[in-house]
Structures are given as structure tokens and as C-alpha cells.
């Protein structure tokens, strides 16, 4: 938190603290529901309730049963595997196609830019249930329903808009003189691409790819329609048994995912700081 | 008279007129740009746009009747449904023949299911006919068919078949607008109040989605502002709080809100503990519209914060400082200088949240009770439960048109090229 | 958002894991014939695993049975598979009404019950043994289940004995959970509004009858939590969110006996329904699946399933063999919906009526809900 300048008046001070209080409330609102999950995932009974034993911190009220089920069940193992496979390939497709398209869209002489841009980001605009239904009809017709390829293509389509948008946004501030400068200094188009353009768009590409990855990883509506057991992802597995049982196993799966996410995001942040230190750039 | 000066033509070094050369370069540049976009465009057309078009077709497709009852469709053309007379023997004969053939292909119940969407009773009528027709081998078919089930002698039955005998139908759209067509004279009227549902659900969906969008904006704005103001070192850590829910499964977050909001849930228990409410005054915050709004605001909040944050990050701090140093009150400076600059973020966030909200059906189904469900719940119901895919598609298309309108409006106001996500 | 270095590490880790999983996939594929059996998941699939799958795989080491929990969307999925010409399921557990629909549409194969299935332990043929439960030529009955009520015995002034107690807010205040569809609820409402049970469907077939049923439901509407997944009622009862709620009797049995929740059964006017197997047409393992089906539906196996879940076996010859619960050791017979003490007043799901009227009544019902 930044130090208050000494010239701040009392109302300014009050406002300043109120503002921070509001922000922390919002952060709390964002994060609290996730931390509720963690104790519930150790529940001894298969319900999402804080039992009396749990509240009294009686060891009887807690158990690792749901974690055992998660690690021992073939269904969950397959789901974890599939989630990564599908999200990985979908991300590759959307990142590659999306980046190339964004480079094209950002060129000076792109014809029908707005129309094409609208078509390319339409999967983000069309309500999911509609996309899911349409894909389900068409993919069944051409034999893609119930295949890994079908789910990967569907997820790639859903993830691409994020890549297109983030990369185009990075390029919107791009100074085309840089390309001309590089070329007038004798660089080949390839050299210009790798030495000038790539470093500049990389942050946008990575952030778009992360969005695409999450979109696929957490997507449930389309995978329920287009996928089948063999393509079960983690969200698919969470939903498929819901008629008979909402098993707390989904909570243990979620807890593990939360921990992995925290670890991943922290590692990336630490690595980023290290890189910056090596490069001698201090964070602003 | 003044003599117009001769046009001076410029040439490039190799003797080509400059104008021509420039045009050529521009054409090539256009070509290259288009070539770069085309792989994705092709992919999108195949993986996404054709499927959506497929659904459009499905919402008007009625070819099943002509396919399964070809002879009947042909011969019923000459029958006037306004007449209070049953169709003649030829139509009955065609029907018997069609059903026999359909029975063999195990398709006679499909036609029953299709027509049952329009008028109750057709499902059993055709299933029964499938069992009975094998005994009807000689004329008079009319008498024999009516003997097998007296509903074949009801003129209304034939009016329904006649009305839905063409290859395309607007019937699903009528149903999606709570309208119906009179089987006898073809006039359109609205359904009685107790049977109309879709308009009500459309309105509710828009109302609740607007509320949710507004809430995410109110809640998300201060946090994004704070994230943009603090040093990157801190904002990178705090942004994890925003990303974490974003990465956590929808079902899990919904479940968590059930545990929090229910009558014997965490929040009610807490309120009792601190004495705000007593044991009998437990609040009903779930299985109603409140539950839907709270849970969905939480689920969609990151989609508001991320674009807002990314736009706010790019607003130079000097703008507001300049305004203040020129004597503007900090509030005025914020409102007149900073706030307008956040418009693209607000636009992107709002449209994203709103559109995601109207398409959600899983959370409303679990926490929405009867007052918190959306139009998408009905689409999902028709897609996976009643299997009335035509009606589901028609509702979907209407919803889609609404979204496209909204999007065009957004493009007019903000411009899609200004969309940012973080 | 993030810099390239870390992303590279991230990508490398993922690539390695993908390669490894691909390799393990290949290894699995060579091992055995896989039969994909589609069922409902949870305790129900577990009971099938214990009673059918495990012993069958022990006897036939070349077979590997895979549980797919997506029976809830079976009709839609089978339609898609048929259209795509790629049937990836071998056997599907379906409720009777879905089985009829699938059979009508030619999405599942017809079965000659007497030759395909084992005779009863008492020597009767399969058709005799299953009797009226063979509701469709494609359907091999497996269990009788019922939709009944469970209530929190610690939250009521006296035990609930009649389904009409659900409509009695004065004696039993609190919320109720009912399924979010007209089926069953409309019948109960009419019975409690004084319609003679034998006339229920005649009345329900008319507009006035539907209005009457909804008017009765109106009296408790503001106190109803509508469920869409069978697991919700046990959860709502365990949480104390509702006092009484309807769901499948096997789910209530688990909550009461296995999870020891303070819940009791209200069997009055429970609605019977059947659940059984259908064989998707176009399965690539037809011969293997028929062998499995013969085994899994014999007298002993059907009786065995009742060791794990309180659904009644559909073979008459299995009834005397129903024993004790596998883990708890309590006799299962008193927990069966078909037990004479529980089945004093019952309805049977009226397949024909609902096939005809479901679309229309569902519209009316949902319009009423949205009001």
C-alpha cells in the first residue's frame, strides 16, 4: 500500500482508507468461496455441509476419502489426462491461427477488417448453449461428435477470439516505422519478423494462449454435447454423475486444481522477476 | 479562358507510372493481409459458423413429414381443411401405405413425436397405428383406420397433418414467441396466459443479466482501479486473486455458493452468531433469483475486471495529475478525465459479462429455483431432455439475433477493434 | 501478462506429460476388449460394478468393462452416434420410457428375450420370469425403482404417513423439494385434491384437470425447492434446507442407512418405474455384449445387486434370494420399494399418457413455474 502524502486532508484520508477497504472486500468476495471448498473436501460424510463434528474440529468429522477416490478412480485419472491433452492441442491451434490472423488484421491494407474481425471473435459472442447445440448437430453429421478431434476443434474455436483480441490489442500500439526501419537497414522479412515483431507481440500471444487454455480447461457445456466418455475432461466428469450423486470428490479435485494454479501462477511470477533482475529491468 | 495545366505523370525508376505501382503494392499488401487471415477464417467457418447455420436450418426444417408420409402429403394437397368434411378415401389409403412403410423402417413413431409437439396425442396415435395397419389390407381404408382408432375420424387430426405437411415450418418460431396457429383457418393468436412462458423468460433473462452486469461493473471497477494504480510487483500478486476463481470449475464455484447461501449455510449461521438475525429469521438467499444473481456475479466478475484492468493500465497517470495541477478537484479530474478513458474497458467488460450471462444455464439450474432460471435453461431442456430440437433451435436463434444486435450496438459505440482483455 | 522464459518451461512440462499419456494410451489399448457400459454414476454404478462387472471380468480376463456415467443424455447421444455412424457405446442403462423411445427410433436393437437371456433359477423362461416388466422388445429389465419421499424425522412433530402431508404446511412447516417437471408431482397433487387414484390420468388429460393439479401445487409453491438432479434432495435434506423431498428411493436409502442421516421414508403413493439395459444398434462388440448381458441379468446377479442398493430385482425368481447389505449386514428386503409394507399404495409410471402429453403439460407446468 502506498504511503499517504502528508498534504492529504481528512476527507481525502477517509476516502483513501474506505477505498482500500472496498477493494479488500471485493478481493475477499472473489476468493472466499474458493476457500470454503477446501475444508469441505475433507468432509467425512458425502454432503457439502459443515457438520457439527467438523465445526468442533473433531477428527471424526474429517477424512481423506474423497482424495483417495480421486487418485484411485480410472474416471478421474482419464479426466485429468484428457483435460490436459484437449486443452493443450486446442491452445496450440488457437494460438497459431489466432496470432497469424491478428498479424494480418493489423496490416494497413486489410480489406473488410470489421466484418472479418466480427466473424473471428463470434465464438466469444454467441451464447455457449447455442454454440454447443450447433456444433453438436453439425459434428454428429460429419462424424466428429464423440471424438478427441471434435472436442479439440470446438475448444480451439472457442479459444481463438481471446488470442485474436489480445494480439490485435498488442499490435494496435505497434509502430509500423519499426518494420520500415528494420527493412531499410537491410534486414530480410524473416529477420524482421523474428527480431522485431515476435518480441513485441509475445506478451499478447502468451496472455491469449493462457485465456485459450483456461477456456478449454474449464469448459463444460460444449464438451457435454460434443464429447463423450472417451473425451471426458475434468468438468465433464464433475457433471456426468450428477443425477445420482454430487460427490465431494469434485471438491477434492477442485482443491488440488486451486493449489496447482497457485503454485503455477506464483512460479511464473517468480520466474518473471528473476528474468527481469537478470535483464536489469526493475519493475515499475 | 484559363488553360488547364497538363497533368504531370510521375514514374518510378523502372518506368512504371507511380500511381499504377502504388496500386499494385497496395493490392499485394491487401492480398498478403487476407492470406494471413484466411486460415483462421476457413477454420472458423468450418468449426463454428457452419454449425450455427446448421442450427438455423433445423429451426425451420420440417422435411420429416414429407419424408415419412410422402404419399399422404401429396394427396392431402387437394383437401380443403376449412371444409367440415374428412379427407377422402385416397388420403386414408395413402396414409395406411405410408405408415406400413414407415413401420418397416421403424420410423412411424418419429412422425408421431414430431406432430405431438404441435398437438398432444399424436405420439400414441402413430404408435398404435404402427401396430394396427398390418391388418388393414383392403379398402375401404377410411373405415378401417377410423375403426382402429377413432381419432383418425377427427377432422382436427387431419388439419394438423395438413398444416405441417410442407418441408419448412415457422411453427417453432411461433411457439418460441408464445403464439399458435389455428389448425382450421391458419390464423395466428397468442397462447393463453397460463401456457405462455418464453417471452416471460426472455424478459427475465435480460433483466437478471443486466443486474449481474451492473453489479460486476460496480464491484469490479474499484478493484481494477486499485490494481492499475499499485506497482506491478503488487498487482501481479493481487491479480492471482482474480485469476484463481477464473481457473476454478464453474460447478465447484456454484456448489460453494450453495454451501454459503443456503438456510443452514455459512452466511446464515454467521449472521445468527453475530446476532443480526435470529434462528427463525434465516434468510432465503438461494433457490431464487437472489441465488442466481449472487453466484453469477461472482462467476463473471473476472470477465469484467480483466478488460477494465488492461485498459486502466494504459491510461497515463499524467492526465489526471495535469488536471489536478490545473486546479481541478480530484473528483472532477477523475470523473472528467480518467473515467471517460476507461470506456473501452467498461464496454468490453460489460458486453462480455452480459453475453456470457444470458447464455448460462448450469448455475441458474442449480441455484435459481423457479424464479431464477433463464431462457437458456429452456434451450438446454429442449436439446437434451424433450429432444424438441426444432423449438430449441428456434429459441436459440432468437437469442442469437438479440446478441448480434447488441454486438452491433457495441461496435457502433466502442468499436470492436478497441476490445482488450488483459 | 507473463514473459517467455517461464512459458517455455510450462510448455515443455506439458509436452512431456502429453507424450507420456499417449504412450500409456497405446499400452492400454492392446490389453483387452473394452466394453463401454453407460449408466448413471454414483452409488448406482458402484452397485453394478460390484454385482455384475467385477465377477464377470474375473471370469473373463480378456474383457475390460468401462463405466461411462452419461446415461442422463443417452437418447440425444445415441441419436448423434447413429447419425455419425460411429457407435462407441456397447450397453446402455436406460429408464423404461427412454428405452421405448430408443427402440421406436431404431437406435437400439430388439432382443429375443428367451434365447438371449438365461432362464430363471426356478426353470422359468426369461419372458415368464420378467413378466410384464418387458415393456419394449429392446428392453432387458434390471431393477424396479421408485420415486418416493424422505423427511427429516428430527424436524417434524409427528411421523409423515401420507403423501398429502407434503401439501400440509400447517402440520409440517418448512420447505419441500420436488422434481422440476410435471411427472409425478401432478399425480400426487390430484390424489391429494381428492381425485380417486384410478381416475388420475383421466382427470390429468383435461385442461381443467391440469389446472386443478396446479392449483393444488400452488398451495405449497412458495415453499418448494425444485430439483433437477437426483442427488439434490439427499443433499437438501442433509443440509436441513428442506423438511421433506422426493427422489429415487435408492438415494434415500444411502442417506439413511449408509450416511446415517436423520431421515425417514414416506412410501405413500410412491411411483414405480423400471430401469434396464438396451443394446445400441451398431455396437462393435455385439457378441461380447450379449454374453455379458446374459450373465448380468441372471437370477443370482439381479439379486446380488440388491446387496449394494435398495432397488428391487425385476426377475420374480430373484426376489427370494435378496439378502443382506454387503457392508452394513442389514436385511435389504424391508428397504425394497416392492416390499409389501412399502407398496401399500403405489402408482406405476404411465408411459403412454406421458408420451402423449409430456410436451403440452410440460409447457403449462413451466409457465406456471415462471409466474
> What digits encode the pLDDT tens for the residues C240-275?
889 999 999 999 999 999 889 999 999 999 999 999
Domain co-membership, C49 together with C68: yes
Query: How far, in Å, CA of B277 to CA of B268, rounded?
Result: 8
**Structure-block grid coordinates of residue C222:** 412458495
Same domain, C179 and C290: no
Instruction: Check B54 against A137: CB less than 8 A apart.
Output: yes
Which pLDDT score is estimated for C8?
A: 53
Name residue, grid cell 438396451: C278
pLDDT, residue C309, reads 92
- Cα C109 to Cα C106: distance, rounded to the nearest angstrom: 7
The answer on C216 and C160 residing in a single domain is yes
- Whether the bond between B140 and the residue before it is cis, its omega within 30 degrees of 0, is yes
Is the same domain home to C266 and C357? yes
DSSP class of residue B285?
-
pLDDT bracket for residue C345 (50, 70, 90): very high
- Provide the 8-state DSSP code for B14: T
pLDDT, average across residues B308-327: 86
- The pLDDT assigned to B192 comes to 87
Same-domain status, C203 and C217: yes
Residue A1, pLDDT score: 46
A186 and A54 in one domain?
no
Mean pLDDT of C117-128: 93
What's the whole-number mean pLDDT along residues B105-122? 89
pLDDT at res. B215: 97
Which residues in chain C have their CB less than 8 angstroms from residue B120's CB? 356-357, 359-360
CA torsion A13-A17-A22-A26 (nearest 10°) is 140
Q: Please tell me whether residues A19 and A160 are part of one structural domain.
A: no
Rounded mean pLDDT of chain C?
89
Judged by CB atoms closer than 8 Å, whether chains meet at A113 and B259 is answered as no
pLDDT-derived band at A278 (thresholds 50, 70, 90) equals: low
| Window A:210-249, CB contacts with C under 8 Å | 210, 224, 228-230, 237, 240-247
Q: Which chains touch C (3 or more CB pairs under 8 A)?
A: A, B
The question of ipTM being above 0.95 is answered as no
Nearest residue of chain B to residue C365 (CA atoms) = B195
Residues A81 and A153 placed together within one structural domain of the fold: yes
A230 and A143 share one domain: yes
- CB-count exposure of residue A174 (10 Å: 0-12, 13-18, 19+): middle
Q: Which of A45, A140, A243 sits opposite C259 (nearest CB)?
A: A45
In the three-class reduction of DSSP (H, G, I as helix; E, B as strand; rest coil), residue B247 is classed as helix
Tell whether C260 is covered by a domain: yes
User: What size, in residues, is chain B?
Assistant: 422
Element (H, E) at B188: strand B188-190
Determine contact: C355 vs chain A, CB below 8 A.
Answer: no
From A67-71, B99-103, B192-196, C91-95, the region with the lowest mean pLDDT:
B192-196
pLDDT-derived band at B5 (thresholds 50, 70, 90) equals: low
Within a domain: C187: yes
What is the per-residue pLDDT across A154-170, written as a single tens digit (0 to 9) for each?
A: 999 999 998 998 888 77
In a domain, C58, yes or no: yes
**Is C307 found in the same domain as C211?**
no
Counting Cβ atoms within 10 Å, is residue A269 exposed (0-12), middle (13-18) or buried (19+)? middle
- Report yes or no: B315 and B338 within 8 Å, Cβ to Cβ: yes
Q: Residue B280 has what DSSP assignment? A: G
Neighbour tally for C183: CB within 10 Å = 20
CA dist B337 → A76, B77, B343, C221 (Å): 52, 70, 11, 52
Confidence of residue A280 (pLDDT cuts 50, 70, 90): low
**CB–CB of B146/B158 below 8 Å?**
no
Q: Which residues contact A34 (CB under 8 A, 6 or more apart)?
A: A258, B244, B245, B248, B253, B256
Domains of chain B: 1-58 (no CATH), 63-171 (no CATH), 198-418 (1.10.3720.10)
Contact status of C5 with chain B (Cβ, < 8 Å): no
Nearest Cα neighbor of C139 from C87, C68, C74, C80 is C74
Is residue C260 packed enough to be buried (19+ CB in 10 Å), middle (13-18) or exposed (0-12)?
exposed
B411/A114 CB distance under 8 A: yes
Query: What's the number of domains chain A is made of?
Result: 2
User: What is the secondary structure of B162-184 as a DSSP string?
Assistant: HHT-SSB-SHHHHHHTTEEE-TT
- A151 and A24 both lie in a single domain: no
Q: What is the pLDDT of residue A282?
A: 43
Q: What percent of chain A clears pLDDT 70, i.e. is strictly above it?
A: 93
Q: Which residue matches cell numbers 448413471? A: C40
pTM for the complete prediction? 0.87
Set of cell numbers at residue A49: 455441509
Are residues C137 and C152 both part of a single domain? Answer: no
Q: Is residue C17 one of the residues assigned to a domain? A: no
Element (H or E) spanning B189, and its range?
strand B188-190
- Per the prediction, chain B carries an average pLDDT of 88
- For residue C26, pLDDT beyond 70: no
Instruction: Report the gap between the CA of A186 and the closest CA in chain C (Å).
Output: 27
pLDDT > 70? residue A243? no
On whether residue A66 sits in a domain, the answer given is no
Residue C84: what pLDDT?
76
Per-residue pLDDT at B9: 73
Task: Inform me whether the C-beta atom of residue B422 falls under 8 Å from chain A C-beta atoms.
Answer: yes
Q: What is the CATH number of the domain that holds C225?
A: 3.40.190.10
- Percent of chain C whose predicted confidence (pLDDT) is above 90: 70
Asked if B110 lies within 8 A of C105 by C-beta distance, the reply is yes
Contact C131, C249 (CB under 8 A): no
pLDDT band at C3 (very low <50, low <70, confident <90, very high): very low
A22 and A120 in a single domain? The answer is no
The rounded distance, in Å, linking the Cα atoms of A91 and A85 is 10
Inter-chain residue contact B201 with C180, CB threshold 8 Å: no
* Structural domain contains residue A269: no
pLDDT at C25: 52
| H helix or E strand, kind and range, residue B190 | strand B188-190
Do B304 and B353 meet the contact criterion of CB atoms below 8 Å apart? yes
Q: Has residue A68 been placed in a domain?
A: no
Residue A82: which CATH number? Answer: 1.10.3720.10
Size of interface B-C (CB pairs under 8 A): 86
C186 and C118 assigned to the same domain: no
Question: Do A75 and C42 make contact, defined as CB atoms within 8 angstroms?
Answer: no
Same domain, A30 and A96: no
Pick B28 or C113 by higher pLDDT. C113
Q: Indicate whether C7 belongs to any domain.
A: no
**Residues ≥6 apart with Cβ < 8 Å to A258:** A34, A37, A38, B244, B247, B248
Q: Are B252 and B362 in contact (CB under 8 A)?
A: no
Verify that C110 and C165 share a domain, yes or no: no
Instruction: Mark whether A80 and A38 lie in a shared domain.
Output: no
Neighbours of C127 (CB within 10 A): 12
Kindly give the residue spans of alpha helices, DSSP state H, lying in A41-176. Answer: 52-55, 65-72, 74-105, 113-125, 128-141, 148-172
Position A283 pLDDT exceeds 60: no
Residues A78, A150, single domain; the answer is yes
Is residue C264 located within the same domain as residue C182? yes
Mean pLDDT of C22-32: 54
- Answer whether residue C54 shows pLDDT above 60: yes
Burial A82-93, CB ≥16 within 10 A → b, else e: bbbbbbbbbbbb
What residue spans of B45-87 are helical by DSSP H?
Answer: 50-58, 63-68, 70-76
pLDDT for B381-417, tens place per residue? 998 888 899 999 999 999 999 999 988 888 887 777 6
**C106 and C228 part of one domain:** no
Q: Is residue C16 part of a domain?
A: no
DSSP state of A228: -
**Could you tell me the sign of the dihedral formed by the alpha carbons of B369, B371, B372, B375, in that order?**
positive
Residues 126..155 of A with a Cβ closer than 8 Å to C: which?
A: 136, 139-147
Q: Please give the C-alpha separations between residue C29 and each of A53, C25, C139, C304, C317, in angstroms, as whole numbers.
A: 46, 6, 30, 31, 39
A266-280, B94-108, B385-399 — which is least confidently predicted? A266-280
Residue C267, C-alpha cell as written in the block: 412410501
3-state SS string over chain C?
CCCHHHHHHHHHHHHHHHHHHHHHHHHHHHHCEEEEEECCCHHHHHHHHHHHHHHHHHHCCCEEEEEECCHHHHHHHHHHHHHHCCCCCCEEEEEHHHHHHHHHCCCECCCCHHHHCCCCCCCCCHHHHHHHHCCCCCCEEEEEEEEEEEEEHHHCCCCCCCHHHHHCCCCCCCCEEEECCCCCHHHHHHHHCCCCHHHHHHHHCCHHHHHHHHHHHHCCHHHEEEECCCCHHHHHHHHCCCCEEEEEHHHHHHHHHHCCCCEEEEEEEEEEEEEEEECECCCCCHHHHHHHHHHHCCHHHHHHHCCCCCCEECCHHHHHHCCECCCCCCECHHHCCCCCCCCCCEEECCHHHHHHHHHHHHHHHHHHHHC
E strand or H helix at A272: helix A249-279
- Let me know if residue C5 belongs to a domain: no
User: Do residue A140 and residue A190 come from a single domain?
Assistant: yes
Residues C251 and C278 in one domain: no
Closest CA to C141 of C286, C346, C298: C298
Question: What's residue A163's pLDDT?
Answer: 92
Same domain, A119 and A148: yes
Integer Cα distance of C248 and C186 in angstroms? 17
Phi, psi of C126 (to 5 degrees): -60, -40
DSSP assignment string, B326-374: TT--HHHHIIIIIHHHTHHHHHHHHHHHHHHHHH--HHHHHH-TTTS--
Rounded Cα–Cα distance for residues B349 and B305 (Å): 7
SS3 B11: strand
Q: How many domains does chain C have?
A: 2
Taking only the tens place, the pLDDT of each residue in A9-20 is 888 888 889 999
State whether A141 and A179 are in the same domain. Answer: yes
Please name the residue of chain C whose CA is at the shortest distance from the CA of residue A166.
C1
Q: What does the pLDDT average to over A100-106?
A: 90
Chain C segment 189-218 residues within 8 A of B by beta carbon are: 211, 214
**Mean pLDDT, residues C218-235 taken together:** 90
Q: Report yes or no: B365 and C72 within 8 Å, Cβ to Cβ.
A: no
Q: Tell whether A261 is covered by a domain.
A: no
Q: Cα dist. A89→A1, A84, A154 in Å?
A: 41, 9, 11
By C-alpha distance, the chain A residue nearest C38 is: A229
CA C204 and chain centroid, separation: 25
Residue A254 maps to a domain = no
Q: Which of residues 10-69 of A touch B (CB under 8 A)?
A: 12, 19-20, 22-23, 26-27, 29-31, 33-34, 36-37, 40, 48-50
Question: Which of C5, C15, C42 comes nearest A244 by C-beta?
Answer: C42
Q: Residues 31-60, chain B: which have Cβ within 8 Å of A?
A: 32-37, 39-41, 43-44, 47-55, 58
Q: Is residue A279 part of a domain?
A: no
What range defines the domain where residue A53 resides? 10-61
User: Per-residue pLDDT for C181 more than 80?
Assistant: yes
Domain residue limits at C159: 145-273+345-370
Amino acid at each position: 500500500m502506498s504511503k499517504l502524502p502528508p498534504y492529504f486532508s481528512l476527507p481525502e484520508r477517509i476516502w483513501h482508507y474506505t477505498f482500500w477497504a472496498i477493494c479488500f472486500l471485493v478481493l475477499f468476495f472473489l476468493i472466499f468461496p474458493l476457500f470454503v471448498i477446501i475444508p469441505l473436501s475433507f468432509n467425512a460424510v458425502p454432503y457439502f455441509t459443515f457438520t457439527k463434528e467438523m465445526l468442533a474440529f473433531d477428527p471424526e468429522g474429517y477424512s481423506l476419502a474423497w482424495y483417495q477416490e480421486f487418485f484411485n478412480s480410472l474416471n478421474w485419472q482419464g479426466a485429468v489426462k484428457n483435460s490436459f491433452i484437449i486443452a493443450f492441442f486446442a491452445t496450440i491451434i488457437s494460438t497459431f491461427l489466432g496470432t497469424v490472423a491478428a498479424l494480418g488484421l493489423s496490416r494497413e491494407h486489410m480489406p473488410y477488417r470489421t466484418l472479418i474481425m466480427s466473424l473471428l471473435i463470434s465464438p466469444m459472442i454467441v451464447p455457449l448453449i447455442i454454440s454447443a447445440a450447433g456444433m453438436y448437430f453439425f459434428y454428429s453429421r460429419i462424424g466428429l461428435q464423440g471424438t478427441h478431434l471434435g472436442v479439440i476443434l470446438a475448444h480451439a474455436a472457442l479459444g481463438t477470439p481471446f488470442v485474436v483480441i489480445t494480439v490485435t490489442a498488442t499490435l494496435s500500439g505497434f509502430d509500423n516505422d519499426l518494420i520500415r526501419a528494420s527493412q531499410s537497414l537491410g534486414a530480410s522479412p524473416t529477420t524482421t519478423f523474428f527480431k522485431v515483431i515476435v518480441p513485441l507481440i509475445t506478451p499478447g500471444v502468451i496472455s491469449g494462449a493462457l485465456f485459450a487454455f483456461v477456456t478449454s480447461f474449464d469448459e463444460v457445456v460444449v464438451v457435454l454435447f460434443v464429447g463423450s466418455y472417451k473425451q471426458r475432461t475434468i468438468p465433464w466428469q464433475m457433471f456426468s454423475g450428477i443425477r445420482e450423486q454430487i460427490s465431494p470428490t469434485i471438491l477434492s479435485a477442485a482443491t488440488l486444481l486451486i493449489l496447482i494454479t497457485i503454485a503455477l501462477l506464483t512460479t511464473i511470477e517468480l520466474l518473471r522477476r528473476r528474468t527481469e533482475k537478470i535483464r536489469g529491468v526493475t519493475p515499475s | 479562358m484559363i488553360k488547364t495545366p497538363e497533368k504531370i505523370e510521375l514514374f518510378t525508376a523502372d518506368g512504371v507510372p507511380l500511381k499504377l505501382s502504388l496500386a499494385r503494392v497496395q493490392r499485394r499488401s491487401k492480398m498478403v493481409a487476407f492470406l494471413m487471415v484466411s486460415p483462421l477464417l476457413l477454420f472458423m467457418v468450418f468449426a463454428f459458423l457452419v454449425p450455427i447455420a446448421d442450427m438455423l436450418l433445423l429451426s425451420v426444417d420440417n422435411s420429416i413429414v414429407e419424408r415419412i408420409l410422402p404419399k399422404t402429403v401429396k394427396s392431402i394437397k387437394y383437401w380443403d381443411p376449412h371444409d367440415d368434411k374428412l379427407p377422402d378415401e385416397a388420403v386414408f389409403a395413402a396414409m395406411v401405405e405410408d405408415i406400413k412403410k414407415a413401420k418397416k423402417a421403424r420410423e412411424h413413431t418419429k412422425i408421431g413425436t414430431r406432430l405431438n409437439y404441435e398437438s398432444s396425442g399424436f405420439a400414441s396415435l402413430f404408435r398404435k397405428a404402427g401396430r394396427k395397419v398390418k391388418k388393414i389390407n383392403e379398402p375401404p381404408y377410411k373405415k378401417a383406420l377410423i375403426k382402429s382408432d377413432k381419432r383418425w375420424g377427427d377432422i382436427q387430426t387431419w388439419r394438423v397433418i395438413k398444416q405441417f405437411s410442407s418441408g419448412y415450418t415457422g411453427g417453432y418460431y411461433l411457439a418460441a414467441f408464445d403464439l399458435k396457429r389455428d389448425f382450421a383457418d391458419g390464423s395466428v393468436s397468442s397462447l393463453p396466459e397460463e401456457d405462455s412462458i418464453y417471452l416471460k423468460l426472455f424478459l427475465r433473462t435480460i433483466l437478471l443479466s443486466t443486474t449481474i452486469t451492473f453489479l460486476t461493473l460496480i464491484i469490479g471497477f474499484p478493484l481494477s482501479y486499485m490494481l492499475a494504480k499499485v506497482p506491478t510487483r503488487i498487482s501481479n500478486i493481487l491479480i492471482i486473486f482474480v485469476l484463481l476463481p477464473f481457473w476454478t470449475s464453474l460447478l465447484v464455484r456454484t456448489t460453494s455458493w450453495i454451501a454459503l447461501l443456503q438456510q443452514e449455510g455459512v452466511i446464515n449461521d454467521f449472521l445468527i452468531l453475530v446476532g443480526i438475525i435470529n434462528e427463525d429469521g434465516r434468510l432465503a438467499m438461494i433457490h431464487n433469483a437472489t441465488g442466481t444473481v449472487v453466484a453469477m456475479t461472482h462467476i463473471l466478475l473476472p470477465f469484467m475486471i480483466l478488460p477494465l484492468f488492461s485498459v486502466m493500465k494504459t491510461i497515463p497517470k499524467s492526465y489526471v495529475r495535469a488536471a489536478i495541477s490545473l486546479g481541478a478537484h480530484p473528483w472532477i479530474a477523475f470523473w472528467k478525465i480518467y473515467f471517460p478513458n476507461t470506456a473501452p474497458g467498461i464496454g468490453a467488460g460489460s458486453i462480455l459479462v452480459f453475453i456470457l450471462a444470458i447464455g448460462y444455464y448450469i448455475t441458474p439450474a442449480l441455484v435459481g429455483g423457479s424464479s431464477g432460471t433463464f431462457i437458456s435453461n429452456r434451450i438446454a431442456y429442449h436439446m437434451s431432455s424433450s429432444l424438441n430440437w426444432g423449438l430449441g433451435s428456434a429459441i436459440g436463434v432468437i437469442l442469437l439475433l438479440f446478441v448480434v444486435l447488441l454486438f452491433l450496438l457495441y461496435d457502433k459505440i466502442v468499436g470492436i477493434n478497441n476490445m482488450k482483455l488483459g | 501478462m507473463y514473459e517467455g522464459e517461464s512459458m517455455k518451461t510450462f510448455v515443455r512440462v506439458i509436452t512431456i506429460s502429453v507424450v507420456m499419456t499417449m504412450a500409456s494410451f497405446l499400452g492400454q489399448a492392446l490389453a483387452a476388449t473394452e466394453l463401454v457400459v453407460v449408466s448413471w454414476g454414483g452409488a448406482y454404478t458402484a452397485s453394478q460394478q460390484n454385482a455384475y462387472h467385477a465377477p464377470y471380468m474375473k471370469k473373463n480376463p480378456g474383457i475390460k468393462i468401462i463405466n461411462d456415467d452419461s446415461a442422463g443424455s443417452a437418447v440425444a447421444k445415441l441419436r448423434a452416434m447413429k447419425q455419425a455412424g460411429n457407435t462407441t457405446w456397447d450397453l446402455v442403462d436406460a429408464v423404461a420410457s427412454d428405452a421405448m423411445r430408443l427402440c421406436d427410433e431404431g437406435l437400439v436393437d430388439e432382443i429375443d428375450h428367451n434365447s438371449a437371456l438365461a432362464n430363471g433359477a426356478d426353470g422359468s423362461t426369461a419372458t415368464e420370469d420378467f413378466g410384464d416388466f418387458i415393456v419394449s422388445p429392446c428392453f432387458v429389465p434390471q431393477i424396479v425403482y421408485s420415486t418416493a419421499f424422505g423427511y427429516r424425522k428430527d424436524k417434524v412433530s409427528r411421523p409423515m404417513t401420507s403423501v398429502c402431508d407434503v401439501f400440509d404446511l400447517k402440520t409440517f412447516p418448512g420447505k419441500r423439494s420436488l422434481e422440476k417437471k410435471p411427472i409425478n408431482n401432478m399425480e400426487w397433487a390430484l390424489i391429494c385434491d381428492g381425485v380417486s387414484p384410478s381416475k388420475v390420468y383421466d382427470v390429468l388429460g383435461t385442461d381443467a384437470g391440469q389446472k386443478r393439479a396446479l392449483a393444488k401445487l400452488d398451495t405449497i409453491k412458495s415453499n418448494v425447492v425444485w430439483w433437477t438432479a437426483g442427488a439434490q434432495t439427499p443433499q437438501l435434506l442433509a443440509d436441513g434446507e428442506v423438511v421433506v423431498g422426493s427422489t429415487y428411493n435408492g438415494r434415500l436409502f444411502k442417506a439413511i442407512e449408509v450416511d446415517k442421516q436423520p431421515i425417514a421414508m414416506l412410501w405413500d403413493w410412491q411411483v414405480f418405474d423400471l430401469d434396464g439395459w438396451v443394446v445400441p444398434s451398431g455396437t462393435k462388440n455385439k457378441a461380447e455384449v450379449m454374453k455379458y448381458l446374459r450373465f448380468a441379468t441372471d437370477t443370482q446377479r439381479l439379486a446380488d445387486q440388491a446387496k449394494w442398493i435398495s432397488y428391487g430385482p425385476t426377475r420374480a425368481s430373484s426376489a427370494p434370494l435378496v439378502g443382506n447389505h454387503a457392508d452394513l449386514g442389514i436385511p435389504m428386503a424391508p428397504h425394497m420399494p416392492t416390499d409389501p409394507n412399502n407398496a401399500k399404495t403405489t402408482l406405476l409410471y404411465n408411459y403412454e399418457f406421458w408420451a402423449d402429453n409430456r410436451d403440452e403439460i410440460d409447457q403449462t407446468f413451466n409457465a406456471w413455474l415462471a409466474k
